[in-house]
Structure 1
Amino acid sequence: MAYKTLITVLTDATLVAPTLAEAEALAARSDAHLEVLCLGVDRSQAGFYYGGASAMLMEQSMARAQGEANEVESAVRAYLKTSTIRWSCEADVAQITDIPHRVGLRTRFADVAVLPRPYGKDRGSELEAVAEACLFNGSVPTLIVPADADASQTVVPKRILVGWNESPEAMSAIRAALPMMLEADKVHVVVVDPPAHGPNRSDPGGSVSQFLARHGVKVEIDVLSKTLPRVSDVLMRHAVDMKADLMVMGGYGHSRFREAVFGGATRNLLEAATLPLFMAH
């Protein structure tokens, strides 16, 4: 596999083990170096403090964030101390508004970022900010793993579902996921309600399938009707039907604001997917 530098950004000690299980397995399979950023997040907004309190509260908030970063770092070092992979670990702190800049700078030189699912019970808002920072500011393909994922299936997925909608984001995800696709038994390019008018209306998914086949990927095309209210629902149902180990798709084809307010396939899948998601923007 072509991945040689992996990175994960962790902000919660309870998510260290499931996330590192995936990252460590992928690093071992790829003979890659794993970088771990243990990030403590200051969630305060200094501009809203009453007069005279800003400095004191900011100091307390930063001290709390540093404590969280140290806690995560200790959990990471305990988990990886007997690992055979090459790894490095560093603790840092950031205000939540600075996460895009800080995380983007740290992840841009990685081949893949491995992150926990940003939505769900007891998941803080900083997880969403970290995921978006990887995709947008770091421009790094990102593997999102649910807490109960099977690392062996993700690292060498036998069946991969590709959500294809002809977007640049989907094509970026496909190119980035090629090393995984080459080892899969079958890759299903899934097209939901292809447009009736357009250059590929007579052969939906044909061009991207040809691209994958020329690389040696064992590929099939599945054209589905939108029989459920949301495209994400159709993709998830099909993933269950085909027993997919991994879903590959473009991340945030619409603006982040629009998806946050009105929803979208990316947001919906990040909230509900029970299998790992490989995304790129």
Structure 2
Amino acid sequence: MQAKTILSVIGVDQNDDDLHSAIELCRESKAHLSVLVTALAAPPIGGYGEVTSTVWIEERERQTESLGRKVAATKAVLKADDISFDVTSLFTEYGWAENEIGERARYADLTLIGGGFLTDDDMRQEILNGALFQSPAPILLVPKGYAASLRPKTVLIAWDSRNESSLAVRAAMEQLTAADSVCVAMVDPSATIGRNGEEPGADVATFLARHGVRVSVDILSSGGRAVADVLRQHAVDIGAELIVMGAYGHSRVREWIFGGTTRSMLEQAPVPLMMTR
């Protein structure tokens, strides 16, 4: 994926770590940085009495003022760097956040979500849902302590022979062809003609090799462990700098209520994660 526009979603109360990470990524990629400063409006509290309504209105005014200050501060940081950028703000209700974030993400090649949002329980799910489900663009999730980069040397592909995995591979093709090593990892695959073929991983490896990707296939046994745990450990074992995977093999509701590989990887990514729905 060649990114010309990168959307970075940041929160009002975050420090500038995610912003600086986005700046470096755009400088490396020679991409335009579009920053969306986001605040979720405080919900009504208490009953409908006059005092409660006044408190609620005052709180929303404080939030709006904080959002304005964060936008101004963000612009000041960006003006000091020699990159192309724009800054917009989003002050929205919880029920609307997903759709509005998705709308912004549709006009970017990549949505960057940094470690600041990953530790924000209130906003994390809304941001991820919006970026993944309301936009075709991939997301790059970067945990705290890692640098955002679109030039990884070692990449792990979480492969399960489904359309979601195939779309993720295509979205990351530029990164895969440039990498020194790409590992296709499959956990407990079944060797069936209708699913993985007689030799699981062979088809996708051949497809990637024809694109010039230096690829290998690792068949992993779960040993009763969760698939996400196996993938995380293997990423660490091979020194992966990026994990590429598709989002949501099951229904979205089932994933969020009962858990699943997608949700687990989003919540505990061991290294930067590029994901596409």
TM-score normalized with structure 2 length: 0.90
Structure-1 separation of matches of 2:208 and 2:73: 40
1:164 to 136, 154, 159: 159
Are the structure 2 counterparts of residues 12 and 124 from structure 1 closer, same or farther at C-alpha, using a change threshold of 3 Å?
Answer: farther
Q: Is the 8 A contact 1:9 1:115 kept in 2?
A: yes
In the alignment, which residue of structure 1 is the partner of 2:169?
174
Letter in 2 for 1:136: F
Gaps in structure 1 of 5+ consecutive residues: none
Structure-2 separation of matches of 1:127 and 1:75: 22
| Residue 32 (structure 2) pairs with residue 36 (structure 1) | no
Are the structure 2 counterparts of residues 58 and 232 from structure 1 closer, same or farther at C-alpha, using a change threshold of 3 Å?
Answer: same
Structure-1 separation of matches of 2:259 and 2:100: 27
Q: Is the 8 A contact 1:22 1:145 kept in 2?
A: no
Structure-1 separation of matches of 2:275 and 2:15: 20
| Residue 143 (structure 2) pairs with residue 146 (structure 1) | yes
| Residue 204 (structure 2) pairs with residue 208 (structure 1) | yes
| Residue 120 (structure 2) pairs with residue 126 (structure 1) | no
Letter in 2 for 1:37: L
Q: Is the 8 A contact 1:4 1:33 kept in 2?
A: yes
2:234 to 232, 238, 249: 238
In the alignment, which residue of structure 1 is the partner of 2:273?
277
SS at match of 1:146: coil
| Residue 92 (structure 2) pairs with residue 94 (structure 1) | yes
The alpha carbon displacement at 1:232 in A equals 0.5
In the alignment, which residue of structure 2 is the partner of 1:155?
150
Structure-2 separation of matches of 1:249 and 1:168: 11
Letter in 2 for 1:131: L
In the alignment, which residue of structure 2 is the partner of 1:16?
16
TM-score normalized with structure 1 length: 0.89
How many corresponding residue pairs? 274
SS at match of 1:237: helix
The C-alpha deviation readout for 1:160-196, integer Å capped at 9, x for no partner, is: 0000011221111111111211211011111111124
SS at match of 2:89: strand
Q: Is the 8 A contact 2:42 2:56 kept in 1?
A: no
**For structure 1, which segment, 51-60 or 73-82, has the greater mean C-alpha deviation from structure 2 after superposition?**
51-60
Structure-2 separation of matches of 1:15 and 1:280: 27
After superposition, the CA RMSD in angstroms is 2.1
Q: Is the 8 A contact 1:13 1:75 kept in 2?
A: no
SS at match of 1:195: coil
The alpha carbon displacement at 1:50 in A equals 2.2
SS at match of 1:223: strand
The C-alpha deviation readout for 1:24-60, integer Å capped at 9, x for no partner, is: 233222221110011121141x4x7523558545533
The alpha carbon displacement at 1:260 in A equals 2.1
Structure-2 separation of matches of 1:135 and 1:214: 29
In the alignment, which residue of structure 1 is the partner of 2:2?
2
The alpha carbon displacement at 1:15 in A equals 4.7
The alpha carbon displacement at 1:252 in A equals 2.1
Letter in 1 for 2:153: K
